[in-house]
Structure 1
Amino acid sequence: MVIVEHLAKSVGPEKVPVLRDVGFRLDPGEFVSVLGESGSGKSTLLRCLALRDRWDKGAFRIDGKDILKGGWSGKRNVRREWAFLEQNVTLDPNRTALKNVLIGQAAQTPWWRRATGMVRSDDYMGAMDELERLGLLDKAKLKSGQLSGGERQRIAIARALVHGARYILADEPVTGLDPRSAEKVLETLRDLCKTTGLTVIAVLPLELAERFSTRLWVLKDGIIKHDVTGRRLTSQERAGLL
């Protein structure tokens, strides 16, 4: 169980309030889409949950422990278990898809492994298993620069899972992808939520959010104005989104 209470965050030198009083409860296996007009704080919310941005105030409880008041080990676990996927996936174009999955991101991987590229056989098999589950086994030996945008997004998902992610925070993960690639990425995330208990919080276009999510948050005026199960939003709930 994840509980967030009274999350507030201001940005810029003038400390403009973006998030004022955000709160929610989150169960394993949920696929949440965050909606809102430009500047409503969607990306800021994801960055706060990933602990990439400092909170101005609020409580962030995971299994009863307030991460913000705990020591460095709790925050380290969040950075490992809460994977942040940006719109433009960062992969090493000179490494194969498999190597990108194995080496991972700095917050998830020991420095010596990133420096040497050395991996254990168990890690190798785990990465291959994830690539197979995500339909990318035949891409394992290709350099990431040879992959499509949708394939790179799925490589990033595989990388997060191999390195222990229980939550994925995806900031516009399908922007710029063709419709079929976008659907493939979202189908992958939805299936992982159903089969593994992975929890996803994503910033998505309205149409795709309504189709793929189990839960929808509409951010407005620094709070979650609407929190509903995955469905087509009413006209009132859509106000200001289009």
Structure 2
Amino acid sequence: MIRVNHLLKSVDGNKKKVLRDITVQFGAGEMIGVVGASGSGKSTLLRCLALRERWNRGDYMWNGDKVIEGGGSGSQKYRSRCAYLEQNPSMYPEKTALKNVLIGQAGQTPLLRRLTGMVRSDDYMGAMDELEKYGLLDKAHVKAGKLSGGERQRVAICRALVHGASFLAADEPVIGLDPKSAERVLETLKELCTQQDKIVIAALPLEYAERYCTRIWGLLEGELKLDVSGRRLTPEDKRLIDLA
């Protein structure tokens, strides 16, 4: 279980508040869709929750352990449990899908991965198992630069799993994808929650959030205005977060 208390994130020398007093709790098996107008703070929220941004204020608890207290950054121990999936996943285009899964995200060397204890960089079978599980076995030896957008997203998901993530924050993972590819990516993310008890929080268009997610957060100007479970948003809900 992860609990966030009074998260505040500011930029421009603390002059501009991007996230304002966010307090939430979420746990294993949840797939949460984050919706809101452009500029509402969705990407920043995901990066903060995945411990990729320094907090100006707030507390972060993971199963009762203090990860962030009063602001700051989480330790590598906890960052390694989180994955931040970008709209266009960062990969080595001249390396194969398999090697991208094994090496990890650009800028993080295999040696660093070994030193932090996340996975062995040569865990070939584990990587192949994940690629097969998500329909990518035939792409294992294809260079990442030749993969489609949906395939790159699924490779990024496999990479996160192989490197030990139990919480995945996906930033607009279906933007630019055709409907079939988008559905394949979202079905993959949903299976992680239902079959492996992972946590997935994704910034999504409302129609996909309502279709795939068990819970929806609505953001407006950096404030969490909605937190609803098990239902679609009402017209009043949509007006509240400027999506009407």
TM-score, normalisation: structure 2: 0.90
Determine helix, strand or coil for the equivalent of 1:8: strand
Determine helix, strand or coil for the equivalent of 2:88: coil
TM-fit CA distance, 1:12? 2.3
Structure 1 unmatched runs, 5+: none
One-letter identity of the residue aligned with 2:224: I
One-letter identity of the residue aligned with 1:110: L
TM-fit CA distance, 1:179? 0.9
Given that residues 210 and 232 in structure 1 are in contact (C-alpha distance below 8 angstroms), is that contact kept between their aligned partners in structure 2? yes
The alignment status of 1:80 with 2:56, answered yes or no, reads: no
One-letter identity of the residue aligned with 2:212: F
Residues 108/130 of structure 1: CA separation in 2 closer, same or farther (3 Å cut): farther
Q: Distance in 1 between matches of 2:197 and 2:160?
A: 14
Residues 231/107 of structure 1: CA separation in 2 closer, same or farther (3 Å cut): farther
Given that residues 168 and 199 in structure 1 are in contact (C-alpha distance below 8 angstroms), is that contact kept between their aligned partners in structure 2? yes
TM-fit CA distance, 1:138? 1.0
Residues 45/190 of structure 1: CA separation in 2 closer, same or farther (3 Å cut): same
Given that residues 109 and 163 in structure 1 are in contact (C-alpha distance below 8 angstroms), is that contact kept between their aligned partners in structure 2? no
Deviates more, 1:206-215 or 1:72-81: 72-81
Determine helix, strand or coil for the equivalent of 1:19: strand
The alignment status of 1:241 with 2:243, answered yes or no, reads: yes
CA offset digits 1:141-165 (Å, max 9, x no partner): 1111111100000000000000000
Match runs of 1:173-184 below 5 Å = 173-184=173-184
CA offset digits 1:27-64 (Å, max 9, x no partner): 10100011111221111111111222211111100011
Size of the alignment, in residue pairs?
Answer: 236
Residues 112/33 of structure 1: CA separation in 2 closer, same or farther (3 Å cut): closer
CA offset digits 1:96-124 (Å, max 9, x no partner): 111010111255843387xxxx943xx10
Determine helix, strand or coil for the equivalent of 2:7: strand
Q: Distance in 2 between matches of 1:112 and 1:234?
A: 45
One-letter identity of the residue aligned with 1:81: R
One-letter identity of the residue aligned with 1:176: G
Deviates more, 1:213-222 or 1:134-143: 213-222
Given that residues 83 and 165 in structure 1 are in contact (C-alpha distance below 8 angstroms), is that contact kept between their aligned partners in structure 2? yes
TM-fit CA distance, 1:209? 0.7
One-letter identity of the residue aligned with 1:29: G
Deviates more, 1:170-179 or 1:213-222: 213-222
Match runs of 1:119-138 below 5 Å = 119-120=121-122, 123-138=123-138
Percent identity over paired residues: 57
Q: Distance in 1 between matches of 2:180 and 2:217?
A: 25
Counterpart of 2:117?
none
Q: Distance in 1 between matches of 2:75 and 2:40?
A: 26
One-letter identity of the residue aligned with 2:187: E
Determine helix, strand or coil for the equivalent of 2:4: strand
Counterpart of 1:43?
43
Q: Distance in 1 between matches of 2:147 and 2:128?
A: 17
The alignment status of 1:197 with 2:211, answered yes or no, reads: no
Q: Distance in 1 between matches of 2:224 and 2:23?
A: 7
One-letter identity of the residue aligned with 1:159: R
Q: Distance in 1 between matches of 2:208 and 2:150?
A: 15
Structure 2 unmatched runs, 5+: 115-119
One-letter identity of the residue aligned with 2:225: K
TM-fit CA distance, 1:82? 0.7
Given that residues 4 and 24 in structure 2 are in contact (C-alpha distance below 8 angstroms), is that contact kept between their aligned partners in structure 1? yes
More helix by share: 1
TM-score, normalisation: structure 1: 0.91
Deviates more, 1:31-40 or 1:146-155: 31-40
Determine helix, strand or coil for the equivalent of 2:243: coil
Q: What RMSD over aligned residues (CA atoms) do the two structures have, in Å?
A: 2.2
Residues 73/176 of structure 1: CA separation in 2 closer, same or farther (3 Å cut): closer
TM-fit CA distance, 1:68? 1.4
